[in-house]
Amino acid sequence: MNAALLLAIGGLTAVGLYLLTSRSLSRIVIGYSLLGHATVVALITAGGPAGWPPIAGGAAPEDMSNPLPQALTLTAIVISFGLTLFLLALARRQRTLSGDDLVEDDLEDRRIAAVESGPTETEDSVAT
Amino acid sequence: MIFGLLVLHVAVCVVLACAGRRLGRSSLLVGAVPPACSALWGAARLGASPPATADVTWVNGLDLAMTFRVDAFAEIMTLIVSGIGVLVFVYAFGYFGPGATHTGRFATTLLAFSTSMLGLVWADSVWTLFVFWELTSVTSFLLVGHKSTDTEVLAAARRALMVTAGGGLVLLAGLLLVTGEAGTTLISELAPVDGTAATIGAVLVMIAAATKSAQVPFHPWLPGAMVAPTPVSAYLHAATMVKAGVVLVAVAGPALGGIGAWKGCGLAFGVASIVWGALGALRHRDAKLILAWGTVSQLGMLITLFSVGTPVAVLAAVALLVAHALFKGALFLIVGEIDVRAGTRHIDELGGLARSMPVAFAAAVLAGLSMAGAPPLFGFVAKETAIQAALGLDGAEAWVVGFGVIGGSVLTVAYTFRFLVAVFGPGPETPLSPRRHALSVPPLVLAVGGLAAFAVLGPLDAVLAPAAVRLSGGAPVDHLHRWPGLEPALAISAVVLVVGAIVGLALGRTPGQAPADHAGRWTDASIDGMVAFGRATVVRVQHGSLPVYLVTMAAVAPLAATPLLADISLDHLVRWHTPLQGVLAATVVGAALALCWVGTRLGAGLALGAAGITVAAVFVIHGAPDLALTQLLVEAAIVVGFVLAFGHLSRSFPKTGLRWRTVRMTVAGLGGVAVVIGLAAASGNPVGAPPLAELAAASVGEGGGSNIVNVILTDIRGLDTLGEVLVLATVALGVQALARAASSREGSAS
Amino acid sequence: MTGLISLAIVAPLVAAACSLALRSHPLGRDIAVLAGLGSAALASHIMLVTVARDGTHTVAVGGWAPELGIILVADLFAALILPVALTIIFVVEIFAIGQRRTVWAANPELSGPLLCVLTAGVSLAFLTGDLFTLFVAFELILVSSYVLLTHQGNRSQVRAGMTYVVMNLLASTLFLFGVAFVYTATGTVNMALLAERIPQLETGVRLGIGAWFLVVFGTKAAVFPLFSWLPDSYPTAPTTITAVFAGLLTKVGIYSMIRFHNLMGMEDLGPIMLLVAALTMVVGVLGALAQSDVKRILSFHVISQIGYMFMGLSLFTVAGTAGAILFLIHHMPVKAVLFLVGGLIENHEGSSSLDRSGGLAAREPLVAVMFAIPALSLAGIPPFSGFVAKLAVVSAAIDQRGTVVVVAALVAGGLTLLSMAKIWNEVFWGRRADGPRPSPAPRRGRRTMHAATALAVAGTLMVALFAGTLLDLSTEAAENLRSPASYIAAVRP
């Protein structure tokens, strides 16, 4: 296992999670993007050490990098690309509707919380 | 025959459900047909042996079966359930005048209840009993809530459902424990059990019985259920459903009677209910509530006697069961007739009914005297036997039971006399609506039944004694006596009657206030309390805020990864395969960190691009040129999309509170660490190797391509690629739909 | 048999393509969708009969060896759940056709094809014997559900969609990390090979992977404390969409756990999972009690009921697993039909809010009956399917002396009944508050909706009636799952 890549994965994950948990949609998109990077690097790292491109006849099989994780990674990249696009479309729609790009709280949950205790400060309202 | 009768019941139920609206009030008469058949069958079977049985398997793996066994006790219960059922249907025909609405629905539900109750008393498998037990709770809920537009009615229906069905859950647990210990689910085969599990199970069963039979402290649902139409009160809440708990205690007695806790619980519930119920009956001023509280007391007596479990006590209990069904059913029906004809049942508003309703008065006196235990009525026989049973005990049990039976009898006599005087006593005559025969005949039949039972005690004893033998585990049982002879029991009875009558007559017309329903309010409050507790819980777990949910999840993941820490090893870690990887790693983390600080969206887009390009470079070094190419294309598209979606909003990212940011940072950091630990630990001691050579060979051979990644994508794992394409296509549809929604309904958001 | 397996996946996809091509012909569009969903459902039923008779059947996609390629496995577990799921989708689509021209309908041009894509994803998820293909199937299901949830683009849907999408994106990310862990440790993503290799791993790695996938699948299944996204998102979708989501999507998560955690031998996680199950049951039902909207109440019950299935799984015994499978079979139709009734309530009352409805039983007795039966079943009242399913898991737990979880299950059952009584009292009894009346669906549409709901109710009664056979089959499926050797042997003869 490669410590440098591990570090990259860990760093990308941490920053990605930090941004994903923010209230701004643009940051959420960035966070998801970074998490996507972390997963694909993790997947190819899972396949073993770096090697020659897996072209049959180009190098001996034992010198090649593992092709299977590459194929999985490719699928993962495309899927996460599609989802990112969808997230962007959703964000755009959200901006049209509410004029900003902040994630809103669920109204019904808020209503019940208000019934329960009156309008109190909870942890996430600090986050706004 | 058992199944035939049940099918008949269900079939008529279905017919009534479909045609009830068209049949209107006459559906009540149609509904009387199946109980009539069952009652006739039960009457014809009296004294027959062996018991009629029927069974069909339902779920073999769980020993769930519909097993029925109609023995001596079940025959008596059949007569009570179906015989009184017929009378109640006829009575209801009179109770609901020609203009009443929803009578079809009422008839359907009442018949459904009657069917469930019949199933319950016929059940031999405990699960059969449980099925019908719960069905009686549900049908009772529907019947109590018949006048469904009234909020008080709805609350009462809910209370009855929650207490009885809650008891059902307790019963479920109890039955699982008891049958697990006994090794059978058939009541007729249950042998005496002991042990911790059986004891807990027995106590749970007793508690369940207490909820159904309205024993203190679960009793408030029963007076509450008096908002139901009177036929329901008479049938469910006096004659039959409330007896389900008693029946359960009775049939489980032979197996569980040896467990001390069972008897202790039963006596505690029973004696407390005898006293508290009778005191309630002495204080209330609504004739129906007086009877309901009296029912609580009488049920307490039944539970007490069955818990005692000696042959005499069981015989007394069986006799009282029959007597109570007759006299209490009659009294309820009489009160219902008064309610319909006088328009009230409050004792302060009634007067002169003895003169204006002579038939009802006669019936009430007969039934009342039976309830008080005065000769020559069947109630007298039952009570004499009960006193004998109490006198036959030793030690503390004798004192407790003696107190319950004798004290309870005094109070019973007292509230009976109070009831008769209060309802029928002199006073300004209450105006009445015209007489309806359907209302006055059924109670008279029941009341005269009490007299007749005393008259033909011999044959009746021949029917009741075998039931008592069966319920006391086969022990020989004495006979019922019309006249016990000059024994202590008779003297006690005489004193009880005199004292009780004096108290009752004295209280009869004394003005006063009905007691406040504290227990009922407490029951409702605890139901509402659960709702409030739910609300208190939900605001703690359901913030409605996406970041909180995400942080929760991101915090749980590292928690899940903790076992990996045990096997983490650093031996196999290399710094890098080429130093360039180190540089790239530093660059990508740097770009990522920059994304946290960067202020403008355009800058963010650039940093995002930088991170993506670095990842592509990582791929190149790793020997994955295809990936690198894809990554670059995708990254470019995303950056363009990002700028398009957010770009022309040149506003900074919103600032957030410090505390929340710290939480997020901690969780995010832990998440990163967890992933690193996961990969490091998983690579420590791998148990399998990827089949590289096979892949290469297969790629060239069968796949027909030298680029192995391409062959995997298009052929070997082509299904994944198909899925990937479908995901993209679906996203395209979604983006298009959102765009169209944006253009067509701009601003018309709900 | 190979044809049946392919049909269950491919038929809905073909239908999706056809109905997209027939966009402008409403009738053709509906016929295409119904034909696709119907033939997939039919295929799955035949598959069940075949598998029950002949045993597990596998298809190596493209003919590659299991070490290299993707393999589809129709074992008894998959064959039991798949027909239930596909039949539900089919019935819901009939309801959706009846619901057209009301304000609660989904956009028919999109919802039909998307439902088909989702169906294909569900079939793939149930049948795949490959961990990464399971990921792809999840994404397929999720992406179609994202679009189904948000395609009308109104504000509450976009808000709910955001929560739903981002939560699931994170879950999918964790899934990929999990795949990376597994592949690092074992060098394969084939489940049969994993079933051989994962038990050989060091305890810490093995349990870590197991717990990690609990988080992944647990988020999809909405177990405590990962459920919060569900009640915020499900109720905002059009009724039919919610019915499919509630009936199926969380169940795919539970299904995956039952398969993965049994095959990979994760018994050591049992005690902590039982605790999670107890919390899920109780917190879910408490949440339901606090709500005042039919669809939100039902959404919280989804969570609570998931707890029962999770409890059966967490026992890691044949009886427990069989109970969980039976519960799954019971729960999917019951939940879907309750949401359909929620749709009927909306249609007749103009809203699914408790405060704004009342007295429906007198006006629409059939709707009342169609609510009462699944509601009682949900609360575990006999003789309905919920009782048998609950008895199966609870008695399995009593065998293991799981007192806490048994008490939690019983309490949750009682509170479920309370919650159902609340809906009944406020919607079907009581008085309706004054307010604008909706314009109900056209007569023919209403009939279709009622017929579809009645069909689904009849389905739940069938589950109750044949509970014995279903439990026998579930037990057999559970035995196979509890002894991975049979699964491995089927994949690698």
User: Residue B585's domain is classified under what CATH number?
Assistant: 1.20.120
Tokens, residue B121: 């008393």
Residues in chain A: 128
- For residue B746, pLDDT beyond 80: no
Asked if B550 reaches chain A (Cβ–Cβ under 8 Å), the answer is yes
Asked if the bond preceding C440 is cis, omega within 30° of 0, the reply is no
Q: Chain C: nearest CA to B618, how far in angstroms?
A: 17
Q: Which domain holds residue C64?
A: 2-491
**B129-143: pLDDT as tens digits:** 999 999 999 999 999
Confidence tier at B650 by pLDDT (50, 70, 90): very low
Confidence of residue B124 (pLDDT cuts 50, 70, 90): very high
Q: Nearest CB to C410: which of B173, B683, B731?
A: B173
Cα–Cα distances in angstroms (integers) from residue B27 to residues B6, B234, B382, C27, C284, in the given order: 19, 19, 37, 45, 42
* Rounded Cα–Cα distance for residues C290 and C293 (Å): 10
Instruction: Note whether B728 contacts A: Cβ–Cβ < 8 A.
Output: yes
The gap from C-alpha C339 to its chain's centroid, in whole angstroms, comes to 13
Task: Label residue A99 by pLDDT band (50, 70, 90).
Answer: confident
* B669 and B709 within one domain: no
pLDDT in tens, B220-230: 999 999 999 99
Using CA atoms, how far apart are residues C379 and C330, in angstroms rounded to an integer?
Answer: 12
- For the residues B444-461, what does the mean pLDDT come to? 94
Same domain, yes or no: B582 and B485? no
If you write DSSP's letter for every residue of A20-79 in order, what string do you get? Answer: HTSSBHHHHHHHHHHHHHHHHHHHHHHT-S--B--BBTTB-GGGBPPHHHHHHHHHHHHH
Q: What is the mean pLDDT of residues C242-267?
A: 94
Rounded Cα distance between B379 and A86, Å, is 79
Q: How far apart are CA C482 and CA C485, in angstroms?
A: 9
Strands B64-70 and C57-60, by their bridges, are unpaired
**Average pLDDT for B141-162:** 93
How far are the Cα atoms of B383, B453, B483, C18, C491 from residue B458, in angstroms, in the given order? 17, 9, 12, 83, 76
Verify cis geometry, omega within 30 degrees of 0, for the bond prior to C383: yes
Cα B67 from Cα B255, distance rounded (Å):
18
- Whether residues B656 and B713 fall in one domain: no
Integer-rounded Cα radius of gyration of chain B: 38
Mean pLDDT lowest for which of A107-116, B128-137, B291-300, B676-685? Answer: A107-116
B38 close to B82: Cβ distance less than 8 angstroms: yes
Mean local confidence (pLDDT), C432-437:
71
Q: State the average pLDDT over residues B408-417.
A: 96
Min Cα–Cα distance to chain C from A73, Å:
9
**B271 vs B254: CA distance, rounded Å:** 21
Pairing mode, strands C57-60 and C71-74 = antiparallel
| Predicted pLDDT at B743 | 66
Cβ contact A92–B712 (<8 Å): no
C225/B552 CB distance under 8 A: yes
Residues composing chain B: 750
Q: What percentage of chain A exceeds 70 in pLDDT?
A: 90
Structural domain harbouring B630: 547-682
Distance CA B465, CA B488 (A): 23
Best residue in B575, B598, B620, B622 to probe A by mutation, most A CBs within 10 Å?
B622
- The token duo for C86 is 């596909």
- Is C173 an interface residue toward B (CB < 8 Å)? no
Mean pLDDT of B58-78: 94
- Residue B653: predicted pLDDT: 55
Task: Give per-residue pLDDT as tens, C222-237.
Answer: 999 999 999 999 998 8
Measure C50 CA to nearest chain B CA, in Å: 23
B94 — pLDDT class (breaks 50, 70, 90): very high
What CATH code is carried by the domain that includes residue A116? Answer: 1.10.287
B564: chain C residues, CB-CB within 8 Å = 204-205, 208-209
Tens of pLDDT, residue by residue over C118-148, are 999 999 999 999 999 999 999 999 999 999 9
- Of B637, B658, B682, which one is at a domain's C-terminal end? B682
Tell me which of B489 and C310 has the higher pLDDT: C310
pLDDT at C407 > cutoff 60 = yes
Instruction: Give chain A's radius of gyration (CA, Å).
Output: 21
User: Does B12 reside within a domain?
Assistant: no
Q: Which of C124, C229, C394 sits opposite B176 (nearest CB)?
A: C394
Residue A124 pLDDT > 70: no
Comparing B119-123, B192-196, B368-372, the range with the smallest average pLDDT is B192-196
**Whether B717 and A71 lie within 8 Å, measured CB to CB:** yes
- One-letter amino acid for residue B2 of the chain: I
At C445 the pLDDT is 85
Beta bridge partners, B55, equal: B67
Q: Is the pLDDT score of B495 beyond 70? A: yes
Question: How many Cβ atoms are within 10 Å of B62's Cβ, its own excluded?
Answer: 20
Q: Is the pLDDT of residue B577 over 70?
A: yes
Please indicate whether, in this complex, the C-beta atoms of C177 and A42 are within 8 angstroms of each other.
yes
- Length of chain C in terms of residues written: 493
A28: left (phi over 0), alpha (psi -120 to 50) or beta: alpha
Which tops the pLDDT comparison, B92 or C153?
B92
Structural domain tally of chain A?
Answer: 1
- pLDDT at residue B649 greater than cutoff 60: no
**Residue B749: pLDDT band with limits 50, 70, 90:** very low
- Number of A/B CB contacts below 8 angstroms equals 345
Domain final position from B451, B479, B509:
B509
Residues B569 and B701 reside in one and the same domain: no
- Across C362-391, average pLDDT: 95
Judgement on whether residues B319 and B435 belong to the same structural domain of the protein: yes
**Residue B510 — very low, low, confident or very high, per pLDDT cuts 50/70/90?**
confident
Q: What does the alpha-carbon distance between residue B478 and residue B461 come to, in Å, rounded to a whole number?
A: 10
Q: How many domains does chain C have?
A: 1
Q: Which residues lie across from C263 on neighbouring strands?
A: none
Mean predicted confidence (pLDDT) in B112-131: 96
Q: Among B291-300, B348-357, C337-346, C408-417, which stretch is predicted with the lowest mean pLDDT?
A: B348-357
Do residues B597 and B698 share a domain?
A: no
Residue range(s) defining the domain that contains residue A108: 3-127
Asked whether residue B142 is domain-assigned, the answer is no
Q: Is the pLDDT of residue B450 over 60?
A: yes
- Average pLDDT on A65-82 reads 94
Give the pLDDT of residue C56: 93
Please count the structural domains in chain B. 3
The whole-angstrom separation of Cα A77 and Cα B426 is 93
For residues B364 and B314, state if they share a domain.
yes
Which pLDDT score is estimated for B652?
53
Is the Cβ pair A4, B576 closer than 8 Å? yes
Q: Is B539 on the interface with A (CB under 8 A)?
A: yes
State whether B682 and C209 contact (CB < 8 Å).
yes
Residue B706 pLDDT greater than 80, yes or no: yes
C-alpha to C-alpha distance for B403 and B693, rounded to whole angstroms: 91
Model confidence at C47, pLDDT cuts 50, 70, 90, reads very high
A4 to B585: CB separation less than 8 angstroms, yes or no: yes
Residue in B554, B593, B728 nearest the CB of A15: B593
Helices (H) and strands (E) in chain B, counts: 32, 2
The 3-state secondary structure of chain C reads CHHHHHHHHHHHHHHHHHHHHCCCCHHHHHHHHHHHHHHHHHHHHHHHHHHHHHCCEEEEHHHCCCCCCCEEEECHHHHHHHHHHHHHHHHHHHHHHHHCCCCCCCCHHHHHHHHHHHHHHHHHHHHECEHHHHHHHHHHHHHHHHHHHHCCCCHHHHHHHHHHHHHHHHHHHHHHHHHHHHHHHHCCCEHHHHHHHHHHCCHHHHHHHHHHHHHHHHHHHCCCCCCCHHHHHHHHCCHHHHHHHHHHHHHHHHHHHHHHHHHCCCHHHHHHHHHHHHHHHHHHHHHHHHCCEHHHHHHHHHHHHHHHHHHHHHCCCHHHHHHHHHHHHHHHHHHHHHHHHHHHHHHHHCCCEHHHCCCHHHHCHHHHHHHHHHHHHHCCCCCCHHHHHHHHHHHHHHHCCCHHHHHHHHHHHHHHHHHHHHHHHHHHCCCCCCCCCCCCCCHHHHHHHHHHHHHHHHHHHHHHHCHHHHHHHHHHHHHHHHCHHHHHHHHCC
Neighbours of B355 (CB within 10 A): 11
pLDDT above 70 covers what percent of chain B?
A: 97
- Residue B48: count of CB within 10 angstroms of its CB: 12
Closest CA to C402 of C275, C307, C224, C281: C275
Subunit contact C173:A35, Cβ cutoff 8 A: yes
pLDDT value of residue B268: 97
The position carrying tokens 């993209």 is B728
> Contact, B299 vs B246, CB < 8 A?
yes
Across residues C313-320, what is the average pLDDT?
A: 96
> What residues have CB less than 8 Å from C138, skipping those under 6 apart?
C121, C125, C172, C175, C220, C252
> Cis omega (within 30 of 0) on the bond before B50?
yes
B733 vs A: CB within 8 A: no
pLDDT digits (tens, 9 = 90+) for C333-343: 999 999 999 99
Please tell me the distance from the alpha carbon of residue C5 to that of residue C82, in angstroms, as a whole number.
11
Distance between CA atoms of residues B115 and B631, nearest Å: 70
Residue C231 · residue C303 · CB < 8 Å: yes
What's the rounded Cα separation, in Å, for the pair C368 and B691?
A: 60
| pLDDT of A119 above 70 | no
Least Cα separation, residue B377 to chain A (angstroms): 59
Q: Over chain B, what is the mean pLDDT?
A: 91
What are the φ and ψ backbone dihedral angles of B648, each rounded to 5 degrees?
-80, 20
Question: Poorest-confidence range of B139-143, B254-258, B539-543, B618-622?
Answer: B539-543
B275 is a domain residue: yes
Give the whole-angstrom CA distance, residue B18 versus residue B526.
38
CA of B581: how far to CAs of A8, A43, A45, A53, B632, in Å? 9, 16, 12, 16, 18
Return the percentage of chain C with pLDDT > 70, whole number.
99
